[in-house]
Amino acid sequence: MSFFRIDTQPARIPAWVLSWFLFAAGITAYFYAAEQRHRENPDDRVMPTVTQMVRAFQDAAAKPAEGQEVQEAPQSLIQRVRGSMLATDTLATARRFLISVALLFPAVLLGLHMAMFPYMGAFFLRFFQFFDKIVALSLLPILFIAFGIDELSKIMLIVIGVAPTIILDTVNLTKSVPREQIVKGFTLGAGDFAITYRIVLKQIFPRVLNSIRLNLKAVMLFLFAGEMIASTDGLAYRIALLRRHMGMDTILPYALWVALLLFAVDLGMSTLNKKLHPWFQE
C-alpha cells in the first residue's frame, strides 16, 4: 500500500483532511458521549454539552468573578470584557508567564559562557548537571517558606524547574559549533567576546529559541502548580476553584483556552525565529 511507503507524499486535500481528522473524531466522540449521558441524567455535570460550555464561557468572558465588585453604572462591552473573570485570570497568568520566560534568556547567556570559557564551565557545569535532576515541585514548600506565597515564589519555581535544562542545552549547542570557526575568528583578529557573541551566539540562537519553545509547556506546568496551591487569581487558580464545585462547563473551556494561548505563543516564537533567522535550517 502507498500509505506505508517512505517516498509517497499525500496530495494537498488529503493531507488537509488527515491533519484535521483526529480533531473532528475527538470532538464528535465527546459530544456523542455527552449527549448520551444527558439523556440518562439531565443533571449530569461531568460531561457538559456544547450549549452549556458556550454559555459558561460567555459568562466567564463578560462577567466578573464571584466576590469581585460589580460596577452599578452601565458599562460598554469592552469594559465588561476587561473586568471579566476570564480576562482577570488570563492577565494574571500571562504576567507571571512572561516574566518567567524573560528570565530564561540570562540562563542562555550563562550556558554560552560556560561552554566558551573553560573556567566558568569548571565552576558551574557539575552544579547544574546535579541541580537539573532535582524535581522542582519538591522544592515548592521551601520556596513558599523562603519567598512567601506571593508572585516571587511562583516565578522562582518556574526558573528553578526550567532554567537548568536551558543552560545545559545551550552548553551542548555551543560546543557543537565547529572549532575551526573559532580558530578562524582568532586568525582574523577577533577577540574572545567578539567570537562568543558575533560568531557562536548568532549561530546557536535559533536553536536556543526552539529549545525555549519546547519548554513552554513545562513553564506553564510549574506555573499552574504554584497557582493551584497558593494564589488568588490566575487560570489554574480558577480551574482548582471550579473543581470543588464540579464546574466542568467552565473547566473544559478554560483548559482549551490555555492550550490556545500556548499554541499562539509557540506560533509567534516560531514566526519570529523565521523572521530573525531566515537562513536557519534544522
**Cα–Cα distances in Å, from 280 out to 89, 198, 212, 271?**
37, 16, 16, 12
Give the model's pLDDT for residue 71.
54
Residues contacting 146, CB < 8 A, separation 6+: 153
With cut-offs at 50, 70 and 90, classify the pLDDT of residue 264.
very high
CA angle 178, 210, 214 (to 5 degrees): 130
Q: Where are the alpha helices (DSSP H) in the chain?
A: 12-40, 50-62, 77-82, 85-102, 104-116, 118-131, 140-147, 151-175, 179-187, 192-194, 201-214, 216-229, 235-244, 248-276
Single pTM value for the model:
0.85
- Let me know if domain 85-276 sits in CATH 3.40.50.300: no
Per residue in 181-200, pLDDT tens? 899 998 888 899 999 999 99
Per residue in 84-111, pLDDT tens? 889 999 999 999 999 999 999 999 999 9
Give me 250's grid cell.
467552565
Per residue in 204-243, pLDDT tens? 999 999 999 999 999 999 999 888 887 888 899 899 888 8
d(CA 156, CA 179): 36
